């Protein structure tokens, strides 16, 4: 059984993310987040959520990539007002605070970011989904709902 995220250090979480999502290749992980930084507005925070962090699929508890290499997706949360403005106005769960996911089944909800998402999928060889949120919603999901995440690039330090 995988170790619970709340029992892990930041170093252990980062190692899990790289092992699971990037085939243990730290250079691939770095290329991934640098490409994200370059393709998103200045000040955007980059967070990974979901089974790449927990090693458990939300729906059924199955391990990451349980259906074969590259079968699990990377859930990227982009944090900040500027990046949220890239989503169409009808593509929000909570207007101005939390978007619907930009993914293969809904690529037109943030058309300016979809080429970046698709290029990241090619880079890592697995599905990549983007969702944008505010710091408040991210904090709420962590504290009130106990949803684990890994901050790749803090909002204030993104360039």
Q: pLDDT truncated to tens, each residue of the chain (159 aa)?
A: 568 888 999 999 999 999 999 999 999 999 999 999 999 999 999 999 999 999 998 889 899 999 999 999 999 999 999 999 999 999 999 898 889 999 999 999 999 999 999 999 999 999 999 999 987 766 666 555 567 889 999 886 444
CA 6 distance to own-chain centroid = 18
pLDDT given at position 137: 66
What is residue 158's predicted lDDT score, i.e. its pLDDT?
A: 40
Q: Which residues contact residue 73 at a Cβ distance below 8 angstroms, ignoring those fewer than 6 apart?
A: 50, 103, 126, 127, 128, 129
- Identify the domain containing residue 68 by its residue range: 5-157
Spatial distance between the Cα atoms of 44 and 11, rounded to a whole number of angstroms: 22
- Residue 59's pLDDT is 84
As for how many domains the chain has, the answer is 1
Helix (H, G, I), strand (E, B) or coil at 94: strand
Q: Which residues partner with 153 through β-bridges?
A: 46
Q: Which of 62, 109, 119 is nearest to 85 (CA)?
A: 109
Residue 91 sits in a domain of what CATH number?
Answer: 3.30.460
Distances (CA, A) of 136 to 49, 100, 144: 16, 16, 11
For the chain, the maximum distance between any two Cα atoms, rounded to a whole number of angstroms, is 41
Residue with tokens 């949803």: 147
Q: For the whole model, what pTM was predicted?
A: 0.90
User: What is the model's pLDDT at position 140?
Assistant: 61
**What distance in Å separates the CA atoms of residue 129 and residue 15, rounded to the nearest whole number?**
21
Q: What sections of the chain are H helices per DSSP?
A: 10-21, 26-39, 51-54, 81-84, 114-124, 135-143
Bin 70: left if φ > 0, else alpha if -120 < ψ < 50, else beta.
left
């Amino acid at each position: 059984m995988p170790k619970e995220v709340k029992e892990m250090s930041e170093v252990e979480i980062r190692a899990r993310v790289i092992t699971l999502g990037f085939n243990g290749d730290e250079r691939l992980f770095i290329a991934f987040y640098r490409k994200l930084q370059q393709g998103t507005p200045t000040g955007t925070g980059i967070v990974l959520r979901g089974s790449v962090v927990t090693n458990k699929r939300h729906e059924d508890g199955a391990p990451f990539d349980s259906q074969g290499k590259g079968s699990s997706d990377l859930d990227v949360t982009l944090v900040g007002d500027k990046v949220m403005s890239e989503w169409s106005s009808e593509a929000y769960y909570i207007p101005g605070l939390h978007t619907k996911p930009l993914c293969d089944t809904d690529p037109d909800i943030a058309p300016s970011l979809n080429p970046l998402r698709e290029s990241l999928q090619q880079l890592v060889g697995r599905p990549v989904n983007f969702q944008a949120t505010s710091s408040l919603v991210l904090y709420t999901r962590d504290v009130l709902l106990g949803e684990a995440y890994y901050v790749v690039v803090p909002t204030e330090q993104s360039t």
